[in-house]
Structure 1
Amino acid sequence: MGWRVGLLVAWAGYAQVRGFLWEGGQPLSGQRVWWAGTTMGTLTDSAGGFSLGWPPQWPAWLRTDASPDSLTLSGPPEAPVVWDLRSPVTRLPTQVIAEEGPAVKLSPREPQAIQTWSRQALTAAPCCNLSEAFEGTALVDASYSDGGLGLRQLRLLGFEPAHSPLSYENKPLSMGLYRPWAAAFLPALWVQSLAVAKGVGSVQSGYDGAAGQIQVQYLSPEEETHTIEAFARSTGELLLASRWQGRLSRAWAYTALTNAGGTPWQTSFLQDHNGDGFLDVPLYQHAHALGKLYRRDSTGGLTEVEVEGLWDYRWGGQVTFRRPAQIATLQAWGTYQEAAWVQASARRGWVFSEGRGLSWLAQARLWDSQLQAGFNRYGARQPLLWSQLLYRQPLGDTRWLLQLGVEGRGAYYAESLQTWHGYDTTWRRPEGILGGLAELTLTPTPLLSVVVGSRIDWHSYWGWQAVPRLHVRWQYAAAGALRLSGGRAWRVPDPLAETFPFLFSSRLWKMHFPGWPAVEESWSYGFFWQQSFSVGGGMLRLSADGVQAHLRRALLWDIERPGQIQVFSADRPVLHQTLYGEVQYELPDRLRISFSYKHQEVWWPLSPGRVFRPLLPRDRAVFWASWLTLSRRWQADAIVSWTGPQRLPATWESPQVSYTPAYAILTLQLTHRIDQWEIQLAGENLNNFRQSLPVRGAEAPFAPTFDAALVWGPIMGRMGSLTLRYTW
C-alpha cells in the first residue's frame, strides 16, 4: 500500500494541466497564465498553448494578464482546456484598448508599441482628471504651465502637447482651440482604460501625432452599474462625480456621466503656502455631463448617439482678488476664465460576412472661452465639424487586411488678443480639410506583421498634404518583440491657443505671422523593444524605446530676452530625440514595482542661437511600487518622481541663463475596498518641495517685471486628499 501512495504522490507532482488561451478564436501568445493565489505561472507559446502543474487544491481558478476574468476548474480536466476570452475590446488596426487587465500592460502582439493602462493604474495616485493620471510613469509629463490658472497639458515622450493628440473611442478630443484643456477637463471617473501609442501612429488616427497618440476608453454602457465618487483635497477642492449605466430596453443601453465641483473657500491658509500673496492653485467652479445611448444588433453592428457639455469658471492671482473690477482699479492683480463646450457625436457600425465591416463616425462641437490676465485679454470661439467613414476588407485570408477611409473636417477660428501694452490682433479664418486614407496590414506569420499606410488630405489654404507611414513588428520570442516605425505628420499650429499661458506676465508680445501659420511637418522614426521573463514566481518586463523627429517650420516661442515673447515659425529644422526605458516586476495579485527613465534632447533655434528648449528637463525618472493583498481589499501605492535640471532663460532678477535644481516628489496612497465601497487616502508632495519664486515681481504685479509664467516645479507644498467611491 505504501508504494501505491508514493507512486500517487510522485504522479501528482508531474501532473500537468494543458490548455490554449484564445481571444475570439485567435491564439494569444506571450501572455502570463497562473493559478490564482499561487506563484505557479507560465507564458503561452506562439499557438497560445500553456502547461501548468496541478494547483494545491481543487476547485482552482486560472488567471491571465489578458483579462480581468478567471476560469474556474472544478477538478483535473480530461482534455486540454480551451479558454477563449471574449471581453469587450475596442479595436483599431494598430491599437487595442482592453476592458481591464494588469495595471500597465505592453502587448507583444500589436504592430505598434501600445501601453495600456487599466482603471487600477489610473486610480493609483490622487486623480480627478486625466492630466493627473500619469504620476506613475516618466513616459508622459503633465507639469503646470503657468502660475495663474494652473493649466496642465500632456507631453508624450517629451514632445510638445500638440504632437500627441488625445482621442476617445476613436473620436478626436484635443482638436482645434479646445486642445489645451482637453486633458484637464476629462474626469478620471469616466475612464475605463487608456492606451498610449508610442511613435508615429496609424493613418486612421489622423495626419498629425509625431510623438504618438493617447486613446481613452470610456466606461462601457453594456455594464449595468452605478457609481458615485466624492473627492476632497486639502487645498479646499471638492468634486462629486457619478456614472449611471443600464438598459432602457432589451436593445438599447444608456450611460449618464456627471462631474461637478469647485473650490468654495479662498484663504491664504489653504492656497498660499509660500506666503507670496498669490494663490498657489487656481480656484474654480465646474460642471460637466455626458449622455450616451447605445445599441448592438444581432450581427455585431452598433448604433451610438452621444451628447456632452461643460461649463467652467476659474480664477487665480492675488489672494485678495475676488472680482474683475479690482483689476481695473489696480486693487488686486487677478486672472479669470469662463469657458463653455458642447458636443454631439454619432457612431454607426455594420458587420458583414467574411470579416468585412463599415463604420461611420461624426462629431459636432462648439468651444467658447474668455480669459483675462491682468490687462491681457484672450478670447476664442470655434464651431467644428468632423466625420470619418472606414471600410475593412480581408484580402484572401486574414493575413492580408485592407482598410480604406474618407475623413473630413470643417472649422471656423475666431480669436482675439489684447495686451496691456496695446498689442491687438484678431484672427478670423475658416478651415476645411478633406482626405482619403488606405492602410494594408500583412501578417504572414503570428510572429511578423507589417502595416503600410498612406493618406492624402486637401487643406483649404495650404493645399495637398501626403502622409506615408510604416510599422513593422517582429516577435522574436513568445514574450519578446521588436518594432520599428516611421512616417510623416503635419499640422497647422494655433499660435494663440498654444502660447496663452505667457499672458500671465507683463511680457511684450510679438507674433510673426503675416497670415496663416505655416504648415508644421515632421518626419518621425522610432524603435520599440520589449521582453518578459519569469523570475522568482513573478514576471519581469523590460522595454526600451527610442524616437527621433525632424520638424520643419515648428511653432516656437522665444522668451530669451527679459520682458519679451516672440512667437514664430522656425526657419531652421528642430530636432527631437528621446530615449525611454522601463523595468517592471510583478507578483500576480500581490506586488508590482516599476522604474521608468526618460532622456530627451530638444534644441530650438532662438535669438541667442541653437539652445535647449526652455523649461524642459533633459532627464526624468519615476519609481512606482504597488502592493495588493490577496483579498484585494487593501492596496498601497508609493510613487517617487524625479525631475532633472531645466534651462531657465534670463529674467529681470537674473540677466544670465540659469538652471533650476533637480527635485523629487513623494506621493503615497492607501486604498481600502469593502463590499461596494472604495476609500482612498493620499498624501501628495509629502517631502514638501516647492519652486522658489513661482511669481516673479509679486510685490508689484502691474509693473513690467511681473512674470507668473516661468513655472518649472510644484508651487503648492504638501497636500492631502480623500476619495470615497460607492458602486452598486
Structure 2
Amino acid sequence: MQGLRYLFVLLGIILATNYNAQVKGKVVEISKKSDTTIVPGVVVIWEGSAIGSTTDENGNFTLPIFSETNRLIISSVGYENKTITVMDTSKFLLLVLKSGIDLNEVEILYYTNGTEVSYLNPIKMEMLNERSLMKAACCNLSESFETNPSIDVNFADAISGAKQIQMLGLSGQYAQITKENMPYLRGLANNYGLSFIPGTWIQSIQLSKGAGSVVNGYESLTGQINTELQNPESSDKLNFNVYANENARNEYNLNLSHRFNPKLSFGLLSHMSYNPLVQDLNKDGFADIPTGKQYNFMNKYAFNNGKNFEAQVGAAYVKDERAGGQYAGTVKNYNDTVPLYKIGIDNEKWEVYSKTGFVFKKKPGTSMGLQLSYLDHNQTNFYGNNKYNGLEKTFYANYIFQGILGTTNNTYKIGASFMNDEVKESFNLYKFKRLEQVTGVFAEYAKNYKEKFNIVAGIRVDQHNYYGLFVIPRLHLRYAFKPTSVLRFSGGRALRTANIFTDNSYLMASSRQWYVETSDLAKPYGLNPETAWNYGLNYTQKFKINYRDAYVTLDLYRTDFVNQVVTDIDYNTQEVHIFNLKGPSYSNTFQFEFNMEPRKRLFVKMAYRFVDTKMSFKEGLMQKAMVSKHRAFINIGYETKNSHWLFDFTTQYNGAKRLPGTETNPDEYQRAAYSPDYFNLLGQITYVTKIKKADFNIYLGVENLLNYKQTNPIVSGDMPYSKYFDASMVWGSIYGRMLYMGLRFKIK
C-alpha cells in the first residue's frame, strides 16, 4: 500500500524546491528590561521539510530557500514552537524573541537594498525583490529591468510599442525566461509575452547569467530569468494599484488572497489596462504608441497539509489588443486616395498548471514531485499588407526527485521531462507547422565543502523527434578565498528551436521581402536547431565602507555558437534572409558593478558593461546591429528615517550601435552607419504611509527626463507602401519624456 501511495504522489504532484538561493538571519532576545542578547541554538526549519539550520554562537543562521513553502518553524528550549511567514526570502531576517513568554511574540524585521546577491550559491544569482520593483513604474515584466544594469530594454520597432530585452549582448529569446520555474517566454510569446506579466503580480525575479541548471531544461543559452508570482499563502489580503501616464495609458491591478483554513488558500490576480490616446510627438506621421487594451486574470489555489504534502493549481487568461500606425490626424496633407498604413495585434492566451510536492519525512532532505502545465496561445497580427497568424498548444511535464548522499553537503537531483509543442504559423505566402515532442532525463550532483568550495555538475539527455538524441552538460564551480571573496565559474551547452517569425516580428513592420533558405525540410522551417556553448567567470568581493556593506562584482562571459539561425538584413536593404550559420558567431561580455551605502539608507549602484557581439552574415563577420558596445549605469536610492519618503534616480549611458546598411536606398531614405550615444534619465518619488492597518503609497515618476528622441525613426515614413519603408530601425526612444503617477493600497 505504501508503494502505491508513493506511486500516486509521483504521478500527480510537483516539486517546487529551489536550493539555488539562501536566506540569512539572526535571532536575538529582548528581556523585560529591554536588554538585547543573542540566542544560540535556536532551530529554524522550513515547514514540512527537513531543511533547517541552527543559530551559531552569534545568533546567526543560514539555510537554503525551500520554494515549497514560505513558513518557518522556530523552536528553542523553554519555548513553544512557532510558525512564522516569511514575505521575502531575499531579505535579512532579524527574529526578535521576548523573554518570559512564548514564541508567539516573535517579531520579524527586514533589511534590504532591493537586489541581493548570494555569496554561498555556486550559481551567481541576483534576486530582485519587491523593493527593487518599486523603484520604477514596472507596469509589466519588460519594464522591471529599467534599474538593473545586466538587462537592456529597447523598443522593438517604431509603431507596435513592443519592448524587447537583451542579455549578454544577445536578444531575449536566447535567455530562458520562466514563470515559477516552468517555461514561459517561448514560441509565440517571444515578441509580446513580456507585457503579459503585470508588475504587481511579481513577488521576486531571480536573474542568473550563463549556463543554468539542467533541471530547468535545455534552452538556456545566455542565462535564466525566473519570475515568482504572488503566493496566496503569503501575499497581501488586498493589493490595489492604479497607474496613469502622460500618454493617457491607465492601468488597474487588483490582487486578492484569502486563507480558508490553515491548509487551503485562494488567490486572484487581475489586471486591466487601456491606451486610448493617439499621439505623434516626433512628427513622423505615425502614432508613437499604439492604442489598445489588455485584460489579464490568474486564479491560484494553494494546499498544504502541514506534514509532507503541498500542492498549488491555477489557471490564467490574457486578452491583448493593439492598434496603431497612421491616422488622418497624424498625416500631413492627408489625402484619402492613399490608404493609411495600419497595424493590428491580437493575442489571446489561456493556461492551466499544477505544482505539488511530497517530502519523505523519514528520509531527511528527500522529496519528489511533478510540474504540469498546458497553454493555448492564438495570435493574429497585421502590419500594413503583411499578415501573420499563429496558434500554439503546449503541454509540459517535469518530474524531480531530490535526495542527499550521507549529509546535506552532498545532494542530488534526478528526473525526467516531456514537452509536446504544436505550432501552426502563416506569414503572407509562408505556411509552417510543427509538432515538437521532446523526452528527456537529467541528473545533477551538488557538493559543498565547508562553505569554501562548491560544485554543481549536471547532465541531461533529450530525445527530440526532429533533432534526435542530444546531450546537454552543465558545470558550476564556486571557491571562496574568504567568506567575503568568491570566485565562480560556469559552463555548459544549450539548444533551442528558432521561431523565425516571432523572433523577428519587428521586421514585419517593413516592406522587406522575406527569404527562408532551408537546409533540411524534415526540420522546423527547414533549418537546424540553434546550439551554443556558454562560459563565464564571476568574482564578487564584499567589504566595508564607513562601517557599512559594499561589494564589487566582475563578470566575464562568452557565448559561442556552433549553429545559429541568422537573420541577415544587411545583404539587401529591401530583403530579409534567414539561414543557418556559416562561419563563427560569438558574444563576449564584461561587466563591472559596484554597490555601496555611503550614508545610512542611501544606496548607490554603479556599473559599466562592454559587449562584443559578432556573427557571420552573407558579407562576412560583422558586428551585430542594434547592440551598444559600451553601457554605463548609476542608480541612487534613498529613504528617509521614518521610511515615509523613498527617492530613486537612475542614469543610463547607451553607447553607439551599428545600424543595418541603407546605402543602396535613395539619399533621403539612407541612415547613418552608427547611432549616436545618448543618456537616459529616470526617477521616482514615493510617499509611504498607513491608514489604520493598511499601507498606502503614492508615487510620481518620470522616464526619459532629458526628452531625448530618435529623429526620423521610420525610413520612408512618407510613403509606407513603397519598397523602402522600414519601421524597424529603432535604437532610441520614440515618445520622449514620459511622466507618470499612481497609488498603491495594501491590506496585509
Q: Same fold (TM over 0.5)?
A: yes
Displacement of 1:21 after TM fit?
Answer: 9.5
Q: Which residue of the partner structure matches residue 207 of structure 1? A: 218
Q: TM-score by structure 1 length?
A: 0.86
Give matches, 1:166-315, under 5 Å: 166-223=177-234, 224-266=236-278, 271-315=279-323
Q: Which residue of the partner structure matches residue 708 of structure 2? A: 689
Q: Which residue of the partner structure matches residue 376 of structure 1? A: 386
SS across alignment from 1:142: strand
Bigger Cα displacement from structure 2, 171-180 vs 712-721: 171-180
AA aligned to 1:671 is: T
- C-alpha separation in 2, matches of 1:327 and 1:345: 52
Conserved? CA contact 1:104–1:116, under 8 Å: yes
AA aligned to 1:341 is: K
Displacement of 1:126 after TM fit?
Answer: 2.0
- C-alpha separation in 2, matches of 1:327 and 1:510: 34
Displacement of 1:152 after TM fit?
Answer: 1.3
2:739 aligned residue (687, 712, 720):
720
Are residues 109 and 588 of structure 1, via their aligned partners in 2, closer, same or farther at CA, if it must alter by over 3 Å?
farther
Displacement of 1:248 after TM fit?
Answer: 2.6
Give matches, 1:496-645, under 5 Å: 496-514=501-519, 515=521, 516=523, 517-560=527-570, 561-586=572-597, 590-645=601-656
Deviation string 1:410-432 (CA, Å, 9 cap, x unpaired) is 011100011xxxxx110011110
Displacement of 1:17 after TM fit?
Answer: 5.6
AA aligned to 1:72 is: V
2:407 aligned residue (397, 400, 403):
397
AA aligned to 1:126 is: A
Conserved? CA contact 2:40–2:55, under 8 Å: no
- C-alpha separation in 2, matches of 1:156 and 1:238: 29
Conserved? CA contact 2:509–2:726, under 8 Å: yes
AA aligned to 2:746 is: T
1:665 aligned residue (661, 673, 680):
680
Bigger Cα displacement from structure 2, 16-25 vs 566-575: 16-25
- C-alpha separation in 2, matches of 1:465 and 1:356: 29
Conserved? CA contact 1:302–1:348, under 8 Å: yes
Displacement of 1:588 after TM fit?
Answer: 8.1
Counting matched residue pairs gives 659
Q: Which residue of the partner structure matches residue 344 of structure 2? A: 336
Identity of matched residues, %: 24
AA aligned to 2:175 is: S
Confirm whether residue 350 of structure 1 aligns to residue 358 of structure 2.
yes
Over the residues paired in the alignment, what is the CA RMSD in angstroms? 2.8
- C-alpha separation in 1, matches of 2:678 and 2:329: 31
Deviation string 1:86-108 (CA, Å, 9 cap, x unpaired) is 99xxxxxxxxxxx9943011110
Conserved? CA contact 1:643–1:664, under 8 Å: yes
SS across alignment from 1:184: helix
2:425 aligned residue (408, 415, 418):
415
Q: Which runs of 5+ in 2 are unaligned?
A: 1-35, 46-51, 64-87
Confirm whether residue 705 of structure 1 aligns to residue 724 of structure 2.
yes
AA aligned to 1:346 is: S
Conserved? CA contact 2:176–2:221, under 8 Å: no
Displacement of 1:210 after TM fit?
Answer: 1.6
Q: Which runs of 5+ in 1 are unaligned?
A: 1-14, 34-42, 47-63, 88-98, 419-423
Conserved? CA contact 2:95–2:106, under 8 Å: no
- C-alpha separation in 2, matches of 1:408 and 1:205: 12
SS across alignment from 2:170: coil
Bigger Cα displacement from structure 2, 392-401 vs 636-645: 392-401
Q: Which residue of the partner structure matches residue 26 of structure 1? A: 53
SS across alignment from 2:215: helix
Deviation string 1:328-351 (CA, Å, 9 cap, x unpaired) is 974211111111000000112000
Confirm whether residue 452 of structure 1 aligns to residue 471 of structure 2.
no
Q: Which residue of the partner structure matches residue 54 of structure 1? A: none
AA aligned to 1:459 is: H
Are residues 27 and 695 of structure 1, via their aligned partners in 2, closer, same or farther at CA, if it must alter by over 3 Å?
farther
Deviation string 1:40-90 (CA, Å, 9 cap, x unpaired) is xxx9999xxxxxxxxxxxxxxxxx995364333669x9xxx9x99999xxx
2:94 aligned residue (59, 70, 73):
70
AA aligned to 1:477 is: K
Conserved? CA contact 1:440–1:453, under 8 Å: yes
Conserved? CA contact 2:96–2:106, under 8 Å: no
Conserved? CA contact 2:191–2:505, under 8 Å: no
Displacement of 1:280 after TM fit?
Answer: 1.1
Displacement of 1:513 after TM fit?
Answer: 2.2
Conserved? CA contact 1:144–1:711, under 8 Å: yes
Are residues 69 and 327 of structure 1, via their aligned partners in 2, closer, same or farther at CA, if it must alter by over 3 Å?
farther
